[in-house]
Structure 1
Amino acid sequence: MSKKIKVVEAVNQLSLGGTEYALQLYSKYLNKELFEVVVVAIYNGGERVKLIEALGVQVIVLDGDLKRFEEILKSTDVFHWHGNGILDDKIFSLLEKFKPDLVVQTNVFGYFDNSQYYKLIDYDLYVSKMILVRRMQLDKKLLNKFENKRKVLSYPVDIEHLQSLSPTDEEISLFKKENDLTGHFVVGRIGRSDDHKFDLITLDGFAEFAKTKENVRFLLVGSTPKILQHAKKLNILDKMLILETSSDLSVLLLYYKSLDVFLAASNIGESFGMVIAEAMFSGIPVVTISTPEKDNAQIELVDNGLNGFVVPRLKNKIGAALSELYEISEQRVSFSKMARIKVLEKYAAKNIVLSFEKLVLEHISSKKQEVNRSTLVMDFSESLIEDYKYRCNDLYGTLNVTDRIVLSNQNAKKYFSFSFLKHFLKQKINMIFEKSNVL
């Protein structure tokens, strides 16, 4: 057997965040007959160290020891960096000195560091089409320079693991009985206890939907004082089941499977939308809102009218979408089937990693004969832009004059919001940083 290709899966730390989870899935599914996989945490370890080691993959926590990092690079064939797009000078200066055959970045948030180090990256992989389209629009002057290295490869969803933890019908029935959900139409949201990840329009839309319906409930996982205060103001607390968030995926899957509809609306949008993908794989129809001025990958996951509904940020449209799914069981069944198929075809971790392997093997010429396989990697193109524009406009329902006024007022009000101001200033600082590097 020829020598294995040494792949270093690298990240700043190994906590329980989404970036680190993606790295874990790459290290899990990379073909160990072709690749020697080593996970390197540059600065800190964390809870994910043991999870990765349990897969039989070597984990090295450097605690900032860059001399040791230098030695690792000397024997590395492929360096796969998981980050936000801003390149750490201390890390990438060593990468410049000891560059492996291939350097790939999985770019989670789509930032751009146009320093001398960006040229070291052979492929810059964005986790959604939306993030790549936005990045290329910001860098129009540099379009021709970077369009060949910038591609889309979505976040991996570990469907095999999800399937193995899926609750039985009996477990779901018992959970519903214990929580007085039996016989009710259950709308829900599952996520972190974070006001940035929960748009209060979620509750407004549910309240609108619940006005004329007694047998509806809202299952909320990940509440905050602000969320509960708003629910009290809307007088819907008696229709809510409020549960603590959990790191136990089997528990979360029980929550997903107890829903009739997953209602996903985030204040900051989604750079990918893992909880939406998990709900879809669980066969739960999704209603989500489009957030074109923020991260908006949720409208890539949910195909409006095919496997869920994408609605404008209007409580009456959210309520109407929920009502349609409440009244038409055939619609729910169809959405459920198509949602699951979408995740299986587009986001399955095994296929995402196979696509990564193809990229690697095609780059390393001696292995070209082994890459006769399809890929989920997407190149930047005009069709990518057109698809995203179409999805931004393909929304549930038609907007009347009143709806347009409400949306216009929302856009005006947000500029006077303290939380939005902080988010806006952060974006501006990043853009100034990027612009200074471009110039």
Structure 2
Amino acid sequence: MKKIKIIEAGNELGLGGTEYTIQLISKFLNKENFEVTVVGVREGGARVKLIQDLGINVMILNGDMVKLAQLLRETDVFHWHGDGTLTPEIFSVVKANKPKLVLMTNVFGLYDHSPFYDLVDYDLFISKMILIRRMFRDSHLEDNFASKRKALPYPVDVKHINSLLPSDSQLKLFKQEHNLQGAFVVGRIGRADIAKFDIIALDGFAAFAKRVSNAKFLLVGATQEILAYAAALNILDKLIVFDTTSDFKQLLMYYKAMDVFLAASRIGESFGMVIAEAMTVGLPVVTISTLDRDNAQIELVDNGQTGFVVQRDKDRIADVLVFLYEDEKIREILSASAKRKVTKEYRADKIVKSLENLIYNHLNIGAAKYKESLLKDYSLEIVNDYFNRCSDLWEPENRS
């Protein structure tokens, strides 16, 4: 078959999660069937070289809409990655030069109430939760776009992560350097942004540390506000603080030094890549349900199977941490289940094959089909599953 020309595009190509997804999709698209070009419409960034090193063509347009029009006329599929808004400057060019298929990976689940939305053949939400919320909010519309809206999770590069994990000797040396030998390490990795960290996590850890003397908190991405709150709780001596880094191998050292990953975000998660990464390396995850905000973390974490979901309460957080501290066997079971779930539902090659199938079917191309598509349509089944998860919270009496 003639190769399908596809553009993977975003505003920029920095180190954020959206740009990482562009990189992974570009990496895993079948090069026998696809000719891939990555486009930074506004600017480039640190990820340009990372993508080029994969042998993939990258173009930075610096806002040149004439060049964008030329590229669109020469392509079959335009795949836009963004928050759901459709900037007129860009999408008027898409309208005038529409390729055979326009896809959008919708990170935050926004809906652009404009004619430009008609250009999008498939609106792909990065979690079922985000899709459900969008459909509920648009239930009053005459057309709720159910046929074009689907959920396709962010891809997780499981094989790459496993190839970069530290050796036992490297991990031992790291723990020695940071006085973590014999400690029970609770951890968090994320941006140094107070919106992405709920300080209830520190309240819960402080209560836990009063009951477990060897408790430590490994914190990547602290703000002055977070550190001041830790000082007020008198737990600064329990904190091991690191700056955020683009060195993924170093991040994996931090993950592996932990015994439990504590995921608590003020604004919740639209997907939760750090949770998925923690699960990939085999960390039990404790997370907090945020019903009134993004809440995809409870979609990633199956309560009692791959980790625990708790209500936003410091005593519940402390209780579940004590439970995990006291039962190494439970930690091992959760670890194995977490790894299996990521491999089954989020592995990058499976996610990208599902995307390829969507493209083949739309273009009516008889390419080999991947039978186990991870694309999910909006349905009563996923709605019921989400609401069941909202009420399925860990309680101390569930220890049996």
Normalising by structure 1, report the TM-score. Answer: 0.89
Mapped partners of 1:374, 1:143: distance in 2? 32
Amino acid at match of 2:8: E
Mapped partners of 1:153, 1:124: distance in 2? 10
The two structures, once aligned, show a CA RMSD in angstroms of: 1.2
Mapped partners of 2:278, 2:97: distance in 1? 43
Question: What SS does the corresponding residue of 2:37 show, helix, strand or coil?
Answer: strand
Deviations 1:61-112 (A, max 9, x none): 1111111111111111011000100001111112112111111100000000
Kindly report which structure 2 residues correspond to 1:191-206, keeping only aligned pairs within 5 A, or say none.
Answer: 191-206=190-205
Whether contact under 8 Å (1:136, 1:143) holds in the other structure is no
Shift of 1:398: 7.1
Amino acid at match of 1:39: V
May I ask how many residue pairs the two structures share in their alignment? 397
The residue aligned with 2:380 is: 382
Shift of 1:196: 0.7
Whether contact under 8 Å (2:271, 2:296) holds in the other structure is yes
Unaligned runs of 5+ in 2: none
Mapped partners of 2:296, 2:370: distance in 1? 30
Normalising by structure 2, report the TM-score. Answer: 0.97
The residue aligned with 1:212 is: 211
Mapped partners of 1:143, 1:128: distance in 2? 24
Amino acid at match of 1:371: K
Kindly report which structure 2 residues correspond to 1:321-332, keeping only aligned pairs within 5 A, or say none.
Answer: 321-332=320-331
Question: What SS does the corresponding residue of 1:370 show, helix, strand or coil?
Answer: coil
Whether contact under 8 Å (1:362, 1:371) holds in the other structure is no
1:373 aligns with 2:398: no
Question: What SS does the corresponding residue of 1:59 show, helix, strand or coil?
Answer: strand
Deviations 1:11-45 (A, max 9, x none): 11111111111011111110000000001111111
The residue aligned with 1:274 is: 273
* Identical amino acids, percent of aligned pairs: 55
Shift of 1:143: 6.7
Shift of 1:279: 0.6
The residue aligned with 1:26 is: 25
Mapped partners of 2:10, 2:281: distance in 1? 30
Mapped partners of 2:171, 2:374: distance in 1? 34
1:355 aligns with 2:358: no
Unaligned runs of 5+ in 1: 400-439
Higher helix share: 1
Shift of 1:368: 2.8
Question: What SS does the corresponding residue of 1:358 show, helix, strand or coil?
Answer: helix
Amino acid at match of 1:380: Y
Whether contact under 8 Å (2:255, 2:278) holds in the other structure is yes
The residue aligned with 1:188 is: 187
List structure 1 runs of 4+ shifted beyond 4 angstroms.
none
Kindly report which structure 2 residues correspond to 1:27-426, keeping only aligned pairs within 5 A, or say none.
Answer: 27-142=26-141, 144-365=143-364, 367-397=365-395
Mapped partners of 2:142, 2:107: distance in 1? 20
Deviations 1:292-326 (A, max 9, x none): 11111100110000110000000000001101000
Whether contact under 8 Å (2:103, 2:122) holds in the other structure is yes
Structure 2 vs 1, CA of residues 8 and 262 (structure 1 numbering), >3 Å: closer, same or farther?
Answer: same
Mapped partners of 1:383, 1:69: distance in 2? 40
